[in-house]
Amino acid sequence: MFRRLNRGTVVSLAGLLVGIGGLLVQWAADPSMFSAGEQPFGIAFPPGILFILGAGLLTLGTARWWWHPVFAVLISFWIVVVGGLAGQLTPNLFSPNLGTVAGNVIMTVGLALAGIAGVVGMIRARRSGTPSRA
Protein backbone atom coordinates (compact mmCIF):
# COMPACT_ATOMS: atom_id res chain seq x y z
CA MET A 1 0.00 0.00 0.00
CA PHE A 2 2.70 2.50 0.99
CA ARG A 3 6.13 2.70 -0.42
CA ARG A 4 9.03 2.61 1.97
CA LEU A 5 8.93 5.83 4.01
CA ASN A 6 11.99 8.06 4.15
CA ARG A 7 13.80 8.67 7.41
CA GLY A 8 12.38 12.19 7.82
CA THR A 9 8.84 10.86 7.61
CA VAL A 10 9.52 8.10 10.11
CA VAL A 11 11.09 10.56 12.56
CA SER A 12 8.22 12.98 12.03
CA LEU A 13 5.64 10.27 12.73
CA ALA A 14 7.61 9.17 15.80
CA GLY A 15 7.56 12.77 17.03
CA LEU A 16 3.77 12.84 16.64
CA LEU A 17 3.52 9.65 18.70
CA VAL A 18 5.70 11.20 21.40
CA GLY A 19 3.38 14.22 21.33
CA ILE A 20 0.40 11.95 21.89
CA GLY A 21 2.30 10.27 24.72
CA GLY A 22 2.81 13.66 26.34
CA LEU A 23 -0.90 14.37 26.15
CA LEU A 24 -1.64 11.00 27.72
CA VAL A 25 0.75 11.84 30.59
CA GLN A 26 -1.05 15.15 31.11
CA TRP A 27 -4.41 13.42 31.03
CA ALA A 28 -3.31 10.83 33.58
CA ALA A 29 -1.80 13.51 35.83
CA ASP A 30 -4.81 15.83 35.79
CA PRO A 31 -7.96 14.52 34.08
CA SER A 32 -9.87 17.63 35.18
CA MET A 33 -7.89 19.63 32.58
CA PHE A 34 -10.03 17.90 30.01
CA SER A 35 -13.44 18.34 31.59
CA ALA A 36 -16.34 16.64 29.83
CA GLY A 37 -18.43 19.81 29.70
CA GLU A 38 -16.04 21.57 27.35
CA GLN A 39 -15.25 18.61 25.13
CA PRO A 40 -17.08 17.40 22.02
CA PHE A 41 -19.69 14.76 22.76
CA GLY A 42 -19.22 15.38 26.51
CA ILE A 43 -16.25 13.01 26.72
CA ALA A 44 -13.36 13.95 29.04
CA PHE A 45 -10.57 13.18 26.59
CA PRO A 46 -7.69 15.31 25.26
CA PRO A 47 -8.93 16.38 21.81
CA GLY A 48 -5.37 17.12 20.72
CA ILE A 49 -4.80 13.39 20.47
CA LEU A 50 -7.38 13.16 17.68
CA PHE A 51 -5.88 16.14 15.82
CA ILE A 52 -2.35 14.73 16.05
CA LEU A 53 -3.57 11.27 15.02
CA GLY A 54 -5.42 12.79 12.06
CA ALA A 55 -2.29 14.64 10.95
CA GLY A 56 -0.30 11.42 11.18
CA LEU A 57 -2.85 9.54 9.10
CA LEU A 58 -2.86 12.30 6.47
CA THR A 59 0.94 12.17 6.40
CA LEU A 60 0.82 8.43 5.76
CA GLY A 61 -2.02 8.69 3.26
CA THR A 62 -0.13 11.17 1.09
CA ALA A 63 3.25 9.42 1.32
CA ARG A 64 3.65 9.22 -2.45
CA TRP A 65 4.14 12.98 -2.75
CA TRP A 66 7.20 14.96 -1.64
CA TRP A 67 5.12 17.36 0.48
CA HIS A 68 3.38 14.68 2.57
CA PRO A 69 4.99 15.63 5.95
CA VAL A 70 3.29 19.02 5.75
CA PHE A 71 0.47 17.72 7.94
CA ALA A 72 2.86 16.82 10.75
CA VAL A 73 4.52 20.22 10.38
CA LEU A 74 1.19 22.08 10.49
CA ILE A 75 -0.18 20.34 13.59
CA SER A 76 3.14 20.74 15.36
CA PHE A 77 3.25 24.45 14.49
CA TRP A 78 -0.36 24.92 15.55
CA ILE A 79 0.01 23.28 18.95
CA VAL A 80 3.52 24.45 19.90
CA VAL A 81 3.88 27.88 18.30
CA VAL A 82 0.30 29.11 18.09
CA GLY A 83 -0.60 27.47 21.41
CA GLY A 84 2.42 29.12 22.99
CA LEU A 85 1.61 32.55 21.57
CA ALA A 86 -2.03 32.22 22.64
CA GLY A 87 -0.98 31.46 26.20
CA GLN A 88 -2.38 27.92 26.17
CA LEU A 89 0.94 26.10 26.51
CA THR A 90 2.81 28.21 29.06
CA PRO A 91 0.51 27.73 32.09
CA ASN A 92 0.99 23.96 31.92
CA LEU A 93 4.76 24.42 31.99
CA PHE A 94 4.46 26.24 35.33
CA SER A 95 1.78 24.03 36.86
CA PRO A 96 2.25 22.79 40.43
CA ASN A 97 1.38 19.31 39.11
CA LEU A 98 4.65 17.63 38.08
CA GLY A 99 2.80 15.22 35.76
CA THR A 100 1.27 18.12 33.85
CA VAL A 101 4.66 19.77 33.44
CA ALA A 102 6.32 16.50 32.37
CA GLY A 103 3.53 15.70 29.91
CA ASN A 104 3.70 19.18 28.45
CA VAL A 105 7.48 18.98 28.00
CA ILE A 106 7.20 15.52 26.40
CA MET A 107 4.46 16.73 24.05
CA THR A 108 6.34 19.89 23.10
CA VAL A 109 9.63 18.07 22.43
CA GLY A 110 7.87 15.39 20.38
CA LEU A 111 5.94 17.88 18.29
CA ALA A 112 8.99 20.08 17.76
CA LEU A 113 10.86 17.00 16.56
CA ALA A 114 7.97 16.12 14.24
CA GLY A 115 7.87 19.62 12.78
CA ILE A 116 11.60 19.92 12.21
CA ALA A 117 11.89 16.40 10.76
CA GLY A 118 8.91 17.10 8.52
CA VAL A 119 10.44 20.27 7.08
CA VAL A 120 13.83 18.59 6.57
CA GLY A 121 12.10 15.58 4.98
CA MET A 122 10.15 17.76 2.57
CA ILE A 123 13.28 19.69 1.54
CA ARG A 124 15.28 16.51 0.96
CA ALA A 125 12.46 14.81 -0.92
CA ARG A 126 11.90 17.81 -3.15
CA ARG A 127 15.59 18.08 -3.96
CA SER A 128 16.11 14.36 -4.59
CA GLY A 129 12.95 13.77 -6.54
CA THR A 130 12.33 10.50 -4.66
CA PRO A 131 9.94 11.43 -1.84
CA SER A 132 9.21 8.02 -0.38
CA ARG A 133 12.48 6.19 -0.74
CA ALA A 134 15.17 6.05 1.93
Query: Structurally, how many domains does the chain consist of?
Result: 1
- The answer to whether position 38 is within a domain reads no
In a domain, 40, yes or no: no
- Domain hosting 14: range is 7-32+45-126
User: CA-to-CA distance for 103 and 27, rounded, in angstroms?
Assistant: 8
103 found inside a domain = yes
pLDDT tens digits along 37-83:
555 566 678 889 999 999 999 999 998 898 999 999 999 999 999 99
With respect to residue 114, please indicate whether it lies within any of the assigned structural domains: yes
* pLDDT at 89 (0 to 100): 87
Residue 107 vs residue 134, higher pLDDT: 107
Q: What is the pTM of this model?
A: 0.86
Q: What is the mean pLDDT of residues 114-125?
A: 93
Selection from 44, 47, 26 nearest residue 95 by Cα: 26
Q: Examine residue 27 and state whether it is found in any structural domain, yes or no.
A: yes
Using CB atoms within 10 A of its CB, is residue 76 exposed (0-12), middle (13-18) or buried (19+)?
Answer: buried
Helices and strands of the chain, counted as H and E runs: 6, 0
Give the confidence band of 104 by pLDDT, cuts at 50, 70, 90.
very high
- Whether residue 24 lies inside any domain: the answer is yes
